[in-house]
Amino acid sequence: MTVRAVIFDWGGTLTPWHSINVEQLWQTICEPHFPLVQAATHAAALHAAEQQLWEVSRSQHQSATMEQLFELAGVAPTEQLLASYVKAWEPHTFTDPEVSGLLGDMRERGIRIGVLSNTMWPRSWHEDVFRRDGVLDLIDGAVYTSEIDWTKPHPEAFATVMRAIGVSDPADCVFVGDRPYDDVHGAQSAGMRAVLVPNSDVPPYETVVPDAIVASLAELGLLIESW
């Protein structure tokens, strides 16, 4: 069966996974902008709001935005505070060095490239990351769930990214991600083949069997070619 499109998850897939102390990160973001005690209070509120919204994503597959996060936390998202947020996250957003060559090779073979990310970030932040790392022009279409109503594994999220890259048959698509439930189960339920890039911090989902497992993105090119 010919592969016409490969769709990637972002965090933990195109961006290599590593553990982040998000609670401490919020403290770092808030400290330059508020008195010490208030900074700690706001950081705790923002962290709690983020956790709450991600829980809604996990349990109900409903999306959220940064605006909703700040509103839920009761903190005003000033331009300066958002700039500190982006700066604090920058070290954790770098694209895997293997991605540029991989996407270029796929493009040469006529394969459409998509991205589908569960995210509260606006599109512009993600595009800034891809532009910085020289891969934005290699992506044919991207869907960030901050722009739609649903998150993975909801089938509409996968249908939306197919429309974004101009592919109508899910059987022509391969999804690549690091989460057995959101990525593998979601893609397979939508009719796609799914490749798992496992990491130690994401728990297994025992009833899910990916179509393939790769230890790194470097293995993906030969795998897709064999299909």
The confidence score (pLDDT) of residue 199 equals 80
pLDDT band at 153 (very low <50, low <70, confident <90, very high): very high
Residue 200, exposed/middle/buried by CB under 10 A (0-12, 13-18, 19+)?
Answer: exposed
pLDDT at 205: 67
DSSP for 12-34, please give it.
Answer: TTTB------HHHHHHHHHGGGS
The predicted pLDDT at position 206 comes to 67
The identity of residue 3, as a single letter, is V
CA-based nearest residue to 121, from 68, 66, 174: 66
Model confidence pLDDT, tens digit, residues 74-130: 999 999 999 999 999 999 999 999 999 999 999 999 999 999 999 999 999 999 999
8 forms bridges with which residues in the sheet?
115, 176
Judge whether 196 and 171 are in contact, CB under 8 Å.
Answer: no
Q: List the one residue out of 61, 60, 25 whose CA is nearest residue 46.
A: 25
Kindly report the pTM of this predicted structure.
0.95
57 band by pLDDT with thresholds 50, 70 and 90: very high
| Tokens matching residue 215 | 């230890």
The reported pLDDT for the residue numbered 35 is 96
Fold of 5-16+94-226: Rossmann fold (3.40.50)
Give residue-wise pLDDT tens across range 171-223.
999 999 999 999 999 999 999 999 999 986 766 666 889 999 999 999 999 99
Q: Where are the domains of the chain?
A: 5-16+94-226, 22-91
Omega of the bond leading into 153 within 30 degrees of 0 (cis): yes
* pLDDT tens, position by position, 106-117: 999 999 999 999
DSSP, res 150: B
